[in-house]
Amino acid sequence: MDINFVAIDKIFMEAEEDGRTSLLEHEVYKLLREAGIQTPEFRFIRKGEKVFEKNLSLFKGDSLVLKVVSPVIKHKSDVGGVRFVKRDIGEINHVIQDMLTGIPKKFQDWQKTFNPHKEGNVFSLEKIEKEIRGVLICDAVDYVEEGFGSEILLGLRTSREFGPVVTMGMGGLDVEYLNEKLKEGKALSIASVHCLKKEDILLLLKPLSFFDKLVCEFRGRKALISKEELIEAYFRFAQLGAYYSPFEKNSEYTIEEAEVNPFVISEKKLKALDGLCRFSKNHREIKRRPVENIRYLLEPRSIGIVGVSERMNMGHIILNNILRTGFPKEKVFVVKPGLREIEGCVCVPTISELPGTVDVFIVTISAEQSYEIVKQICENEKAYSVIIIAGGLGEKKGTETLEQSIKEILAKGRREGKLTPVVNGGNCLGLYSRPGKYDTTFIPEHKFYELPRKDFKKSNLVYLSQSGAFMISQMSSLPLLQPLYGISVGNQIDLSITDYLEYLKDKDEAGVFAIYIEGFLPGEGVLFARTTREITREKGKRIIVYKAGKTPEAKSATTSHTASIAGDYKVSRSILEEAGVIMTENISDFKDYTKCLCYLTDKKIRGKKVGLISNAGFECVIMCDNLKNERDLMLTEFSSRTQERLIEILNPLGIDRLQDIHNPLDITPVADDKVFARCVQAIIEDENVDCAVISIVPMTASMKTLPPSEYHDENVFKKGSLPFYLAEIFRNTDKPFVVSIEAGNIYTPMAEILEREGIPTFRHCDDAVKFMREYVNRI
């Protein structure tokens, strides 16, 4: 059946007329039924009414459940608000009276013990009694009780960033405990309803700890429920969320949170036993910016700048960096009264006297002065884009109104169709643009790298960061990679990270996006997830994200289990990983993965079948341990042809008599550089191998792994050493592989050779396997 949204609107309207923003349980049951979701038979008995035999005509069984109905009592079981009774009029009326008499005091005592708020917020007995509306009579549902997985939670919660989010996980009274103890990815399925497609739901549910137990044969008994039934319930909740989203205008109402806990399985169907729903009229507009004007920021033909002193201040450093990167002096204009030129660039006394409209205007003065500058630019239509460097804007006390005023100027200009710039910042470090040949960061070049730079590798890397310091730290720590763009967006007064992704997604030269996010603007998470999904799934490009702000929200602020177990960071991570984003938990992984994704740009991902090779047994064991039970990487079997090749290679050294030929391949410390390389070549060329992890323990005397020294005759820099063999293999294959060098700092030169040849190199084999797992699974 289709969802009856008209009837659901009426349920919300009647609750609103009663002065409520939450539904009572019988109203939740009505809503679920209008959404095509099964509930027990039920009848609401108002406080003061008696139960008569005619009230019980709906019920088929001899056992019934009585539930107190009150908008203030959320945890009914804790205060005696759920009672099981026989189908007997006398007993039912007696128990109802007992509940109405005893619950107010029990609930007040419960509040004093568990209410996280101040003592003064504990309700009085009179208030509690007034808020008890009656009792709900329900069928006692006969359902399957198979222990773990018998009760399921399905919830909706509207998040500030992603709008309505649907969650499925373990249900019941111990839901928080169970979901805390279960391994990551096994406890919860989380999805944005605005990004979800019905065909994706099965992939979201399969990893759940209880999924196979419910939908497959288990210990000789048949499946308890079909996967289609689980998918349908999930999808109907998602439809509710999408229709009553704060970002849509289908209805005047929005669902803030809705939950069924638990769903149980009865006659191979899901049936809702308990639920809640909060609603509001809080609609929000997701504002879009004219992203096409980003071209003026990334590849400007002319630049204006204010805040440049004759002495070396921030503005002067920025001007020097612009000129150092090759931008023509005659196209740079400095707003500086009293001077004719600075660093060979023409000075003008005011913004209105700029000779035409510049493509980008850089504001390097204080936050307090930024508003007036932007106002002048807009009034005189003097720039297509603006970069506000000023720190503290919108963050320092007293500047909040300035930031809002800038937003209002931009909105007004766009409404009136005037030439209005797009704005990057404030509180930003600005932009680095290799195609635009300019750099607005205020960090001197010698603070970035050891100069002079000669070994830069141009890359398809784009940094997008809310923190300028984070961005330049990453750029400095990866000195071999020259990014295409480095974009510090600051607090996103106007342009957001999503806007840049939207603009760059079709640019062939941009292939890897390394993104640092602290938080999204309201609704921005939805746009970000949709855009990243298109970039990864349709364009085949790579996105890596470090999301700061992992601290879980205070559980005391939530009314539902859904909000408790699906905190904001967990929501962000789940939604973005489903969109194909690689999420990293620490800065070290972010740096390593950024580098590796750039180095593997031209490689093709065919599948999860991995080949492992090392010259040490412990490495082989550790690499296998990190395959995650072959869920993320599968240890393939080498083809018979490859096994024959490996025997042929290893036989002259007798290694085939020391070790069996299988995956992982342990070639022992006996193997020299050439033998090791030939084995790698054979594995890479195996049709059963999609990718490989190569781990080297370089202390063996058989290989040349050290720089020249008076103490030995090795020279890792000479052709014929393993790094150069591996570099040749890497250049001639489109299969991805990574290398690990498990040893101390004296082998850093060997690692540096591999890095300069563009081969992703780690210093621990478990890190190498971990990366490959993430790499092949974000397709």
Quickly name the fold that domain 291-521 has: Rossmann fold (3.40.50)
pTM above 0.85, yes or no: yes
Class at the top of the CATH hierarchy for domain 152-280: alpha beta
CA distances to 103, 702, 706, 714, 747 from 699, in Å: 74, 9, 9, 12, 9
What's the pLDDT tens digit per position in 70-87? 998 888 888 999 999 999
Q: Do domains 291-521 and 609-777 have the same CATH topology?
A: yes
- Structure confidence at residue 451 (pLDDT): 43
Q: In the chain, what are the helix, strand and coil shares in percent, each to the nearest 5?
A: 40, 20, 40
What's the pLDDT tens digit per position in 244-267? 999 999 999 999 999 998 899 998
Nearest to 383 by CA among 408, 357, 364: 357
Taking a C-beta distance cutoff of 8 angstroms, is the pair 217, 259 a contact? no
Q: Burial letters for 197-208: b for 16+ Cβ neighbours within 10 Å, e otherwise?
A: eeeebeebbebb
Q: How many CB atoms lie within 10 A of CB 328?
A: 14
What is the domain partition of the chain in residue ranges? Answer: 41-139, 152-280, 291-521, 609-777
Instruction: Give pLDDT < 50 ranges for the chain.
Output: 118-119, 177, 181, 451-452, 553-566
- Structure confidence at residue 457 (pLDDT): 73
- Structure confidence at residue 298 (pLDDT): 96
| 484 φ, ψ (degrees, to nearest 5) | -70, -50
Q: Please give the CATH architecture assigned to the domain spanning 41-139.
A: 2-Layer Sandwich (3.30)
CATH of 609-777, one of 3.30.70.580, 2.115.10.20, 3.40.50.261, 3.40.50.970: 3.40.50.261
Cα separation of 176 and 182, whole Å? 10
